[in-house]
Amino acid sequence: MSSPSPSPIQAAIRRELHFFTLYRVLEGALLCLTVFSPVGVWLGGLPRHPVLASAVAAVYLLAACLLFFLRRRGHVRPMVLLGIALDIAASLLAMHALPDAAAGIAMMLLFNVGAAALLLPLRWSLAIAAVAGAALVGEHMWTLLAGHGRDRPLAEILMFAVSYLAIATLTSVVGRQMRASQALAEERGSQVANMAEVNELIIRRMRTGVLLIEGDGEIRLANEAAMLQLGSSGEGRRTLATAAPDLARQLQRWQQEGDGDPVPLQLSPGLPEVLPRFTRLLAGSDQVLVFLDDASLASRRAESLTLATLGRFSASLAHEIRNPLAAISYATQLLEESRDIPEADRRLLEIIYQQTHRMNGIVENVLGLARREAARPEHVDLGEFVRSFVAEYQESHPLENDRLDGHLPRTAVAAMVDRRQLQQVVTVLVHNALVYGRLPGEPARIGVHAHLDSAGAPVLDVTDRGPGIPETVAAQLFRPFFTTSGHGTGLGLYIARELCQANQASLDYVPVPAGGACFRIRLAGARAITTV
């Protein structure tokens, strides 16, 4: 398993450590050149202790090379502390052995202290600077005690010591600020990248098609919905004029005339119409965002709002109708008990009773729809549901010559749905099939099928072998109060579809070419539902 890649800050610190250890190798090489080369006398003067100078130069170069090769293996702080300790010790001994080069060695140590402070916290940096300054003072006292006299004034040593403290403080603060700025930039960059991914995902998953069009008409970006709306005409086309000429003309008209009422377009044969909207990406930019709304969705949304308003009004009206209707029904029953009413008038009373009963059914349906409880989805085995539904329906509704068959799936088909509401929907569909799904003079043949569709979604079909449904009627099947019968309320299929939508399911009429009708309930899979 590969180790995780280091953060940008850690990579930057490792890079600084690399250059620091490389500089230490160069220092060791320069010290060896001063001690061992024939030109060493001109570089550093005569050594006070040749053996000590040679030993310090050789050991320092070897140790510096070792630290350079180990720079990637150890932790940063121990490597820096070990290296600066080596630098201070080698500088102390080298200044004592090479008095003529002492100022240059102290100057090189100044860079080492600054580089170490850049990689360490402030308290460590000040401690290192203090130790380096103390080493200079200690070397000066060593020289005096050894009887070599004063090589350089004490003020110079104190200046170097103060410089060590100053450079350590400055570089440590600057390094901390740089790392904080880099961490903030990394965090902001990560947030921007995450936000860009979220925005891209949202745009890609939007039902509204989104196109980004350049000034020359080139399609710069398109989400999945836009590609589906363009259909086959958009495949491989990079300009709007070739992918959707009508849309390109409408865009050109918008650019020339400004805002106007959008005109629905059919971008590809067999696909629904879209309603385009245009807006510039930025003020003064020639890039244009095109939003493609499904015109049928907009129409259904408007229809849904209208029906919701109508439903609330109908519920209020139903409450007002219910009491007078009950009074009429009760009065009719009292009149039927009278012996003085002729048979012809009794027929009229029967009609009144039937119609009041029908209107009461409408009122009950409207009130039931207004009081509809929220769906409580549960895991339902559709095969077991079909078996139990058919058995219960046959027991409670004598079918005589009619047949109701359950067709079970070969494999388990599960869905998340409110079982009680699903049973209510299937009951409505089976009842309608028994009433309307039969040929004249023949018994009804009803089937309830559970299976998976081509996309793997659980499906429940209710089929019959009747005359089928004309296209003009099929277009209005799910409208409230639409009925072709003088005895129906026209609310059964409307309520059934509302119950399906409450369960994140869909109810559609599917024509059967061989004859008959099929109502298909496409349900949410056992792992695909969000409870509402």
Q: Which two tokens stand for residue 264?
A: 């629905």
469-to-190, 379, 509 alpha-carbon distances in Å: 58, 33, 9
Q: Which two tokens stand for residue 454?
A: 């081509």
Residue of 417, 449, 418 lying closest to 433 (CA atoms): 449
The reply to whether 450 and 321 lie within a common domain is no
**Among 66, 76, 64, which Cα is nearest to 12's?**
76
Find the radius of gyration of the CA atoms of the chain. Answer: 45
Name the residue with tokens 């060590």: 164
* pLDDT tens per residue, range 443-476: 889 999 999 887 788 999 999 988 888 887 877 8
Asked if residue 157 and residue 215 are part of one domain, the reply reads: no
| Amino acid in position 214 | E
Q: Rounded CA gap, 151 and 47, in Å? A: 13
Phi-psi region of 372 (alpha: psi -120 to 50; beta: other; left: phi over 0): beta
Tell whether 390 and 502 lie within a shared domain. yes
Distance CA 315, CA 369 (A): 8
Residues ≥6 apart with Cβ < 8 Å to 36: 54, 57
| Encoded tokens for 252 | 């050109």
* Residues 18 and 104 occupy one common structural domain: yes
**Same domain for 108 and 213?**
no
Query: Does residue 194 form part of some domain?
Result: no
Whose CA is closest to 151, among 41, 40, 48, 57? Answer: 48
Does 285 fall in a domain? yes
Give every CB contact of residue 420 below 8 A, 6+ residues apart in sequence: none
Of 76, 83, 139, 132, which Cα lies nearest the Cα of 109? 132
Q: 332, 354, 370 — which closes off a domain? A: 370
Torsion of CA 13, 15, 21, 25, to 10 degrees: -160
Widest Cα–Cα separation across the chain: 151
Q: Is 74 a member of any domain?
A: yes
Say yes or no: 407 and 358 in one domain: no
Q: Are residues 236 and 149 in the same domain?
A: no
Q: Is 257 exposed, middle or buried (0-12, 13-18, 19+ CB in 10 A)?
A: exposed
User: Residue 70 falls within a domain, yes or no?
Assistant: yes
Say what the pLDDT of residue 253 is.
84
CATH of the domain at 513: 3.30.565.10
* 3-state SS class at 199: helix
Select from 459, 464, 450, 476 the least CA-distant residue to 511.
464
Tens digit of each residue's pLDDT (9 = 90 or more) over 323-352? 787 788 777 777 777 777 777 777 777 778
498 lies in the same domain as 359: no
Domain count, the chain: 4
Angle (CA) 447 452 457, round 5°: 125
Domain co-membership, 293 together with 311: no
**Taking the CB of residue 4, how many other CB atoms lie within 10 A of it?**
6
- State the burial class of residue 402 (Cβ atoms within 10 Å of its Cβ: 0-12, 13-18, 19+): middle
Which CATH number fits the domain that encloses residue 239?
A: 3.30.450.20
Question: In this predicted structure, what is the pLDDT of residue 1?
Answer: 42
Encode the chain (532 residues) as per-residue pLDDT tens digits.
445 555 666 777 777 777 777 888 888 888 888 877 776 556 656 667 788 878 888 888 888 888 888 877 767 778 888 888 888 888 888 887 787 777 778 888 888 888 888 788 888 888 888 888 888 888 777 877 776 655 667 777 788 888 888 888 888 888 788 878 877 877 787 777 777 777 666 666 667 788 888 888 888 888 777 777 776 545 555 788 888 888 888 888 888 877 666 777 777 765 667 888 888 877 777 888 888 887 766 666 665 666 566 666 666 766 677 778 778 877 777 777 777 777 777 777 777 877 777 677 666 666 665 555 667 888 899 999 999 999 998 888 888 888 899 998 888 888 888 888 899 899 999 998 888 888 888 888 999 999 988 778 899 999 998 888 888 787 788 887 777 665 666 778 888 888 888 888 889 998 888 888 999 999 887 654 333 3
- Residues with Cβ within 8 Å of 326's Cβ and at least 6 positions away in sequence, in order, are 360
Global pTM value: 0.41
Q: State the pairing for strand pair 403-407/445-452.
A: parallel
Query: Residue 528: inside a domain, yes or no?
Result: no
Nearest to 415 by CA among 531, 526, 527: 526
> Is 55 in the same domain as 98?
yes
State whether 79 and 141 are in the same domain. Answer: yes
Per-residue confidence (pLDDT) for residue 9, from 0 to 100: 66
193 in any annotated domain: no
Exposed, middle or buried by CB within 10 Å (0-12, 13-18, 19+), for 91?
A: buried
C-alpha 172/C-alpha 109 separation (Å) is 16
Q: Give me the torsion for CA of 483, 489, 494, 498, rounded to 10°.
A: 180
Which segments of 206-285 does DSSP mark as H helices, in order? 224-230, 240-243, 245-257
Assign residue 311 the CATH number of its domain.
1.10.287
Distance CA(45)–CA(33), nearest Å, equals 12
Give 472-476 contacts, CB < 8 A, sequence gap 24+. 474/509, 474/511
Which domain covers residue 46, as residue numbers? 8-188
